[in-house]
Amino acid sequence: MKKFIILIVTAVLVVGLQAEKRPNILFIAIDDMNDWTGFLGGHPQAMTPNMDKLANEGMNFTNAHCSAPGCSPSRNALLYGIEPFNSGLYPFYNHKDVHIGLRKKYTTLPKFFKDNGYNTYGSGKIHHGQNGTDEEWTDYLQLSGVKKEFKSGEGYQIGNSSKMSFRPTTNALKDHQDYKVASYGIDILNKEHGKPFFLAVGIVKPHLAFDAPKQFFDALPERIEPPEILANDVDDLTGEAGRLSNPRDDKQFKKDKAWERVRKSYLACIAWADYNIGRVVDELKKSKYADNTIIVLWSDHGYHMGEKQEFRKFTLWEESTRVPFIIRDLRNKNAAQGRKCTQAISLINVYKTLADMSGLKVPEYVDGRSLVPQLKDPEEPVELPAYISWGKGNYSVRTEFWRYNHYFDGSEELYDHAKDQHEWHNLASNPEYNSQKAKMKAMLPQNEAPTVSLQTATLLSGQDRVDAKKLKKK
Ligand SMILES: [Ca+2]
Ligand SMILES: [Ca+2]
């Protein structure tokens, strides 16, 4: 009996000790940031000193990809830990409406940590289209807006559009949303925490409108270098693949001779996002939580800046799918520190990775793999390629050196990244690559969940777009 009690007391102590030692998580979500950052080298004039420093202190996943190239499906995949082809969450949903049923079925990452004894704090854009719910968050920042001010004649704007605006703002820094979101994070880091915490900071830039404080425009060079673009790049695309390139904005920017201003505004917004990320990370470093807090930084998808005549996202090409992704964990001083992982890695792995790093067991349904082996050794092979879904039936399979896209109408693309990092030359119809294509095709997702609800969805692509049209006709 005595032995039994000692055993129980020891077990309770061990569990208690583990819980006490559980790391805090600083979860930095960024909206629409592509690889135009110093640490990914996507644009030579990017100003991202704070994220570059972070990449130098942690693991820089240089070949990371979103699960879907749109805010809503990308965030749903990451936060629920389930691929669109397993959940049916392919298109955009207003999170509040569609998720009432899903909340019973799946557990979001913040709720998962909350259920496991964490205090969870959120600010800014974490989910798409909805702020936090009480079941997920101990506390969530309620934002109030301040009207943006501009100096007339500066920047570029289409008509009076508040969204298609590419202008320097003259407001005080503290009036901008991302400043407030970061300040909330700083406040949380200055608090006494009796429990481990999960702090989510949702930076909303560089999402449209591309407006940012004037000083971040002024800090950029006068001339902005355009990305490398191949004329007629889309000529080797057929069917749905060709449809994904929407030249509307490209035509408008060319007509207005505005591309340079648009790209400069995007770089200014990235620099502004970086500034606010730096404020939070610097505060963490000064705090007593510095050594026991994992930082994970990711963007929900990339962005086209004129490549393949496309502006924005919503494509299965590198510009849309490649994302910044860094994990910094100082608990093992010998481990991380400025290393790169060049394997193709999906953000679907974030859920299992953070759980694994915190010693927690994930729900059965969660997709992906823990990246703890790759954090120890970036050469350790990942078991799965990165999958990217854009609409039911449209899938991309990305491995370290290849991309294969297969669309619902049978159109295909194959790119050899060792020779063609811009994805200019579609090899899908070249018989020399038949065996490589077959190998990639065999990796396509085997499961295809029915779409959750076509009626409440927006921004439909692939089979969903065709099915919604049929529904309308009925
Ligand atoms: Ca986004
Ligand atoms: Ca091409």
CA trace torsion 229, 233, 237, 243 (10° rounding): 60
Going from the Cα of 236 to the center of ligand 2, the distance in angstroms, rounded, reads: 5
| 317: nearest Cα among 93, 25, 45, 69 | 69
Going from the Cα of 309 to the center of ligand 2, the distance in angstroms, rounded, reads: 11
- List the CATH number of the domain containing 188: 3.40.720.10
Burial of 381 (0-12, 13-18, 19+ CB in 10 A): exposed
Beta strands in 72-196 (DSSP E): 92-93, 119-124, 139-140, 156-157, 165-166, 168-169
Rounded to whole angstroms, the Cα distance separating 111 from 220 reads 40
CB 121 within 8 A of CB 200: yes
In a domain, 59, yes or no: yes
CB 265 within 8 A of CB 298: no
Going from the Cα of 301 to the center of ligand 1, the distance in angstroms, rounded, reads: 6
CB 177 within 8 A of CB 231: no
Rounded to whole angstroms, the Cα distance separating 348 from 354 reads 11
Ligand whose nearest atom lies closest to the CA of 320: 1
CB 297 within 8 A of CB 201: no
In a domain, 240, yes or no: yes
Going from the Cα of 32 to the center of ligand 1, the distance in angstroms, rounded, reads: 4
Q: What is the pLDDT of residues 30-56, one digit of tens each?
A: 999 999 999 999 999 999 999 999 999
In a domain, 455, yes or no: no
CB 413 within 8 A of CB 407: no
Phi, psi of 364, rounded to the nearest 5 degrees: -55, -40
Ligand whose nearest atom lies closest to the CA of 235: 2
Residue-wise DSSP of 181-225:
HHHHHHHHHTS--SS-EEEEEEE-TTSSS--EEHHHHHTS-SS-P
Going from the Cα of 149 to the center of ligand 1, the distance in angstroms, rounded, reads: 24
In a domain, 465, yes or no: no
In a domain, 94, yes or no: yes
Q: Tens place of pLDDT for every residue, the chain, 474 residues? A: 556 555 555 554 444 445 558 999 999 999 999 999 999 999 999 999 999 999 999 999 999 999 999 999 999 999 999 999 999 999 998 777 666 778 789 999 999 999 999 999 999 999 988 766 788 999 999 998 889 999 888 999 999 999 999 999 999 999 999 999 999 999 999 999 999 999 999 999 999 999 999 999 999 999 999 999 999 999 999 999 999 999 999 999 999 999 999 999 999 999 999 999 999 999 999 999 999 999 999 999 999 999 999 999 999 999 999 999 999 998 876 655 789 999 999 999 999 999 999 999 999 999 999 999 999 999 999 999 999 999 999 999 999 999 999 999 999 999 999 999 999 999 999 999 999 999 999 999 999 999 998 888 999 999 999 999 998 887
In a domain, 253, yes or no: yes
Ligand whose nearest atom lies closest to the CA of 230: 2
Going from the Cα of 317 to the center of ligand 2, the distance in angstroms, rounded, reads: 11
Neighbours of ion ligand 2 (CB under 5 A): 233, 236, 424
Rounded to whole angstroms, the Cα distance separating 267 from 264 reads 5
In a domain, 101, yes or no: yes
103 contacts: CB under 8 Å, gap ≥ 6: 133, 135
The boundaries of the domain holding residue 179 are: 2-386
Ligand whose nearest atom lies closest to the CA of 313: 1
| 92: nearest Cα among 474, 349, 465 | 465
Going from the Cα of 31 to the center of ligand 1, the distance in angstroms, rounded, reads: 4
In a domain, 238, yes or no: yes
- The number of domains in the chain is 1
Rounded to whole angstroms, the Cα distance separating 36 from 47 reads 9
